[in-house]
Structure 1
Amino acid sequence: MNPFQVPALMIGLTLGAYLLGQHLFLRYRKSWLNPVLVAIILIATVIRLGSGVVEDYLKSTQILVFMLSPTVVCLALILYEQAAALQRRAFAIVAAVSCGGLTNVLAGVYLSRWLGLPEPFVQAMSTKAVTTPIALELSKSLGGEASLTVAFVLMSGIMGAVWGLPFLRAVGIKDPMETGLAIGTVSHGIGTARAQQENDLMAAAAALAMALNGLFTAFYLPYLYFWL
């Protein structure tokens, strides 16, 4: 029997790896001990040592991917609780997220082309700052590859979650709302989960930025990309 084809085992492995990462982060409070990053390393190690196939693991954990959507909806509660603070700066929030998202797209596309990367990499880099479901649909409309898209989205999220807060604090940005907006715009769900470990206002700002950036990018990227 191939253990990587047994959903119960793989779901248990995934949840166990994440909970271990969460425990390590809460104990040591180090940004590089991000639970998602720890879980990825542990799961990849198990698959490698067990001579497993990634496709088998993905099929066995499809239910976890399905549960991402209702989990994201739960962020609406945080937004509701912080609605008054967010409404007071509504115009600034929309301006910041739209500019940040557009800058991310332009930087990703032009950096990829400057490095001489193949077009599938360029397409994946253009969608790396939006949450996975939206990124996959955008990548499909651009003719991109799903595997590359997921890889770059995941990389963007982890980098923002691990280094986002230390970098922002190093350059003097300490306001919870400003920090949350920056992390949510660039690092979508993974960054928002990291912001939630700090305080509710930062988490609400990150969740709102993630939603707005996904909405804005889905609207303009299919048209903008072919002009770049």
Structure 2
Amino acid sequence: MKTLRWILPASLILLGVGGGFAPWVYRPPAALQLTAPGLAEFVKFLAEARLGLLPIQRLHFLLPLATAALSLPLVAGNRQLGLHWSLNGLLRLLVLPMSLALLSPVWSPGVLLNQEFRLQTFSAGAAVALAIIAPLFKTIPLKYLTTSIAALATLSLTLALRQFYLVDDAIGVTYAGAIQLGWGGWLTIIATTGLVISTGVEWNKILRRRTNDE
């Protein structure tokens, strides 16, 4: 349990940082660096996207960040995990910057509720709401919580990476040079791996307990 107490929250924090704040496109100068939310906006202006030549799903870039923001409150308040109240509160507070990163760059009611950004606004609001009412979900069995989060993170990462490699050549043309996945993308991969490991740790504990009972 001690291993799970640090690897699960740490992996979710890394998922939020990699999926929301660290560059997926890393090119000097800083103005050319794009985070995953930045990519979700940037790809709209690619010629291939405007002409419908690429099946771009820009919201897929936001999936790892959304997974982190929605999962962190549930992990923070989980009774089985038994995190100290101060860490519980800190993790729930971290949901706020993650939720803000999910929103449209233009924060006006008309834009936030526009059909294009409505899902982002709803996801951000749901994450903040979960952070507030997290104690209501403290009895979710940890084995199901870790499994669900790991599965969702893996799917989110897969879809986000698929979009990245779908548009990397087009971005390279715009940048006048080939691009590679930045350290934000790699951090997201590492974080997802950590969540999968967390699931393995929890299920291994359960299996060992069953073996000992027999």
TM over 0.5: no
| Smaller-chain TM-score bracket | under 0.3
Q: TM-score, normalised to structure 2's length?
A: 0.27
Q: TM-score, normalised to structure 1's length?
A: 0.25
Which structure has the highest helix share of the two?
1
